[in-house]
A = this chain, B = another copy of it.
Amino acid sequence: MANKLSNDEIQAGLRALPGWSLVEGRIEKVFSFGTYADGVAFAVKVAMAAEKADHHPDSLEILWGKVKVAYVTHSAGGVTKLDLEQAAKVDTLA
């Protein structure tokens, strides 16, 4: 099981993840799209990647033309390297 990262470790990881930030114990980012359908399509890709990695977003929220993605590893009690890895993967899907 991945270990809970320290705040310094998280901040170091976030330096390589533009647009991601630590909010209330989760790393999250809001992605913008020109249409509602584009946002939904992105969310489905994120969900597929989550199933493949067997590591799911804590929240995947579809708004109009925006999708907010949030990660934390509840089993570890905080953000782990799995979350940082999925965040990097999600960035490739936008």
Query: Chain B residues with Cβ under 8 A from A62's Cβ?
Result: 43, 47, 57, 59-62
Give the total of A residues in contact with B, Cβ under 8 Å.
17
Within the assembled complex, what's the spacing in Å between the Cα atoms of A38 and B47? 11
Query: Chain B residues with Cβ under 8 A from A36's Cβ?
Result: 47, 50-51, 56
> Within 8 Å of chain B (Cβ to Cβ): is A37?
yes
Whole-angstrom distance from the CB of A51 to the nearest CB of chain B?
Answer: 6
Task: Pick 23 A–B contacts, CB within 8 A, sort by A.
Answer: A36-B47, A36-B51, A36-B56, A37-B47, A37-B51, A40-B43, A40-B44, A40-B47, A43-B43, A43-B62, A44-B44, A47-B62, A56-B64, A57-B62, A58-B63, A58-B64, A59-B61, A59-B62, A59-B63, A60-B61, A60-B62, A61-B61, A62-B62
